[in-house]
Amino acid sequence: MPGRPSLAGRSLLLVLRPISGMGGGGSALKVCADHRGGINWLSLSPDGQRLLTGSEDGTARLWSTADGQCCALLQGHESYVTFCQLEDEAAFTCSADCTIRKWDVLTGQCLQVFRGHTSIVNRILVTNNQLFSSSYDRTARAWNVDKGQVSQEFRGHRNCVLTLAYSAPWDLPGAPCMEEALAGGLLVTGSTDGTAKVWQVASGCCHQTLRGHTGAVLCLVLDTPSHTAFTGSTDATIRAWDILSGEQLRVFREHQGSVICLELVNRHVYSGSADRTVKCWLADTGESVRTFAAHGHSVSALKYHAGTWASALLHLPYDIPVRRANRSRRGLPKLTLPCQPMPHAPQLPGQGRGLSGREAQWRHVFTVFTGSGDARARAFDAQSGALRRVFRGHAFIINCIQVHGQVLYTASHDGALRLWDVRGLPRAPPPRPGAPKRSLSRLFNNKVGCAAAAPLQPA
């Protein structure tokens, strides 16, 4: 596509590669390399049946989570796709061609083109039959999903608008003096001008400007029950804000590089940074309680996953033949894709039966998955911080990750979508009393992304 490098086409591969070393091995179930350019984003549908990838090649693709097959090619953008969001009945993509498109997930046909932005559309958010977008043209916009028309324009940032989040009106306090202002909910935007802004969706007016960061705001998450926004910046800090009053509540200081990604889970904030670490913080106090190290480059993607998994092998109705390095002469072995969690799995570990009728031991697993600029994904024990597994195979930075059932999906700038088996992650050993606290990796400069790393060794 114009203005961006394109990678050569690749054929579909089926790979199983055992990995040795710290954290155990990771088995690549499948490599989907239909895109002819890097994958910038990956979205999972609410029902978990489909995946959507947006690429540097100007296309998006829909994939089935049941078998990993590409089920639709979405073509129409005139430049690279920056972001995408998948709903049960429609897919949404935005692009450097300044447009947003809505697609039918069954036919792959473009249903609507949203025009109005004058520069790259960086992010989109679809919620409550509204579409919100942020752009390098220094604006954010609200659109009517059905008509494709702009319903509100939010102007006030002095530079690119990178990230956004929305709080619906029913999630906000119903003070009589605020009812009219909050009738359409609040939109929160983060910008490279170093500020975040809170907008009244109904009127388009700026409700609050959140000032305090000394660098670009790269990411934000919203805790709607407490109407608190958490913002991450190139100034290496995370800040918590009351979006109603605009008050800065607390500052999270321990990272030594840009904060690139955030996730909020169970009153804990997880942050990925250019200092090659992920940190876990108490959302209410700002205290750092855990550090996930061992990355070889900046942390570019982050996903917390809580699952009830079976420790015994459960079979799906299909098998994928794969090659093994030391295979038997009698024939190729077969790898069975991992099962999805049972819809009525027991609340406490106990005995259950899989689809094959075999008994299985259920256990709760809490995992932090990360993607990094070193082209590897990692799985950490969420409670101890111990590294459980390293997933090797990508050639460039991992831009996005998703987890569905017992499959990890990683999307990379090498143009590949990889499916990984995450069954049987080794249990983390209990921490030794009095063990010294691990030091952080060396400083990274505060830039989006990271500095050039040493060449990767062959996996």
In order along its 459 residues, the chain shows pLDDT tens digits of: 444 444 333 333 323 333 333 334 566 899 999 999 999 999 999 999 999 999 999 999 999 998 899 999 999 999 999 999 999 899 999 999 999 999 999 999 999 999 999 999 999 999 988 999 999 999 999 999 988 899 999 999 999 999 999 999 888 876 555 677 788 899 999 999 999 999 999 999 999 999 999 999 999 999 999 999 999 999 999 999 999 999 999 999 999 999 999 999 999 999 999 999 999 999 999 999 999 998 999 999 999 998 654 433 333 333 333 333 333 333 333 333 343 333 333 232 333 444 344 455 556 779 999 999 999 999 999 999 999 999 999 999 999 999 998 899 999 999 999 999 988 776 555 545 544 433 333 323 333 333 333 443 443
Q: DSSP letter at 289?
A: E
Q: Which residue is associated with the tokens 């990984």?
A: 420
Q: What are phi and psi of 442, to 5 degrees?
A: -65, 160
Which of 177, 108, 115 shows the shortest CA–CA distance to 150? 115
Q: What are phi and psi of 303, to 5 degrees?
A: -150, 125
Question: DSSP secondary structure string, 232-249?
Answer: EETTSEEEEEETTT--EE
Q: If DSSP codes are grouped into helix, strand and coil, which group holds residue 108?
A: coil
* List of residues 6+ apart from 78 with CB closer than 8 A: 1, 58, 95, 97
**Which residue pairs, CB below 8 angstroms and at least 24 apart, start in 353-357?**
354/310, 354/312, 354/313, 354/314, 354/315, 355/314, 355/315, 355/316, 355/317, 356/313, 356/314, 356/315
Instruction: Decide if 100 contacts 124 (C-beta within 8 A).
Output: yes
- Tell me how far apart the alpha carbons of residues 245 and 227 are, in angstroms, rounded to a whole number: 10
Q: Report the amino acid identity of residue 250.
A: R
Q: For Cα atoms 146, 147, 151, give the angle at the middle one, nearest 5 degrees.
A: 105
Q: What share of the chain is helix, strand, coil (3-state, %, to 5)?
A: 0, 45, 55
- Tell me how far apart the alpha carbons of residues 339 and 237 are, in angstroms, rounded to a whole number: 40
Q: For Cα atoms 74, 418, 343, give the angle at the middle one, nearest 5 degrees.
A: 90
Instruction: Give the containing element (helix H, strand E) for 369.
Output: strand 359-372
Q: If DSSP codes are grouped into helix, strand and coil, which group holds residue 352?
A: strand
Which of 311, 273, 280 shows the shortest CA–CA distance to 295? 273
- Tell me how far apart the alpha carbons of residues 441 and 418 are, in angstroms, rounded to a whole number: 28
Strands (E), 128-277: 130-135, 139-144, 150-155, 161-167, 186-191, 196-200, 206-210, 217-223, 228-233, 237-242, 248-253, 259-265, 268-273
- Tell me how far apart the alpha carbons of residues 209 and 72 are, in angstroms, rounded to a whole number: 42
